[in-house]
Amino acid sequence: ILSLASVNQVLLLLLVLTVCAILYNKVHQAPLALRNETVDLESTEEMEEEIPVVICAAAGRMGAAVAAISSIYSNTEANVLFYIIGLKTTIPHIRKWIENSKLKEIKFKIVEFNPMVLKGKIRQDASRPELLQPLNFVRFFLPLLIQKHEKVIYLDDDVIVQGDIQELYNTKLAPGHAAAFSDDCDLPSAHEMVRSIGMQNTYMGFLDYRKQAIRDLGISPSTCSFNPGVIVANMTEWKHQRITKQLEKWMQRNVEENLYSSTLGGGVATPPMLIVFHGKYSSINPMWHIRHLGWSPDARYSEQFLQEAKLLHWNGRYKPWDYPSVHNDLWENWFIPDPSGKFKLTRPDS
């Protein structure tokens, strides 16, 4: 038989346990704002909008994609999901590069692009065969590659992002516009450089106005062009307007009628977009697409201007991983060496 003292001790113990249980429940049923700070941060991140960024990883220039991804990831706190598009033969290389470098922390999906979708749609052009690489046309097929996102950023691989990608993602698209680009006539402080090295910034530089099909478009040859190396796209509008079908139509017409392949602008991915999006696109802040850094090994912007730029684009022949090139120190800041040793920078002393 338990003594009275023992009974009191048991009752006291039960009382203490009951009080502890009540306090525990009160703390753990408190509003989120009163709970441990780390829980609050995690729940915010789960709700944060995902920013899909599409970049291609082409054979021979994978270092470009790696540097671009590195620059984006290092300059934002946003929830970025990288869609890395490659051909079947190149995918193992880029996956290994990411998983065996400091980029292993990024969120990414690797998507295989099937070049058979281009069959019969590309006219061979011997002057610049690199422009006929299948991945140059990935931007035409965005809704086929990216399924679940309303808004997507597409970037050429030869870019470096110095600003917060969230700012570019926040670009407003007007109702009825499937995409936003930067106008070539809005490019700050570049007009002297444009005149000096013959860069193209009007439709005349990309389309052959001797052809009736081009004249029938009713677009003045002096109309400002845009550069589709940086795109903010609305996937709903893109699908609704059947943009991909329209682009494919002009690719096929070019195969039959040679409407733009041999013209000075170079490249066969820009002209169809200039036609399809004429008068139907929104504007990207010009500082989010400072381009033509690869048009000449001699053309230089001021260092101060380049430091203020949000995005740098080495479009043209002179790439920053090759030699000669300009401002390649800005690019190399973000380059991550290839763990497999296959991709090497070309430098004067190499």
- Looking up residue 168, the CATH number of its domain turns out to be 3.90.550.10
At residue 37, the pLDDT reads 31
At residue 264, the pLDDT reads 55
Split at pLDDT 50, 70, 90, the class of 253 is very high
Position 273 in a domain: yes
Q: What is the mean pLDDT of residues 279-284?
A: 97
- Write the pLDDT tens digit of every residue in 39-87: 334 344 445 799 999 999 999 999 999 999 999 999 999 999 999 999 9
Position 329 in a domain: yes
Split at pLDDT 50, 70, 90, the class of 94 is very high
Position 28 in a domain: no
Residue 209 domain boundaries: 51-333
Position 78 in a domain: yes
155 beta partners? 230
Residue of 84, 77, 74 lying closest to 48 (CA atoms): 77
Position 269 in a domain: yes
At residue 295, the pLDDT reads 87
Locate tokens 């990309």: which residue?
206
Position 191 in a domain: yes
Look at the alpha carbons of 280, 284, 286, 291 in this order and tell me if their dihedral is positive or negative: negative
Position 2 in a domain: no
Q: H or E element: which one contains 231? A: strand 226-234
**Domains in the chain: how many in total?**
1
Per-residue CA distances from 129 to 88, 120, 258 (Å): 20, 16, 16
* 154 in Cβ contact with 139 (< 8 Å): yes
Pairing of strands 79-86, 107-112: parallel
Position 306 in a domain: yes
Percentage with pLDDT > 90 across the chain: 69
224 beta partners? 202
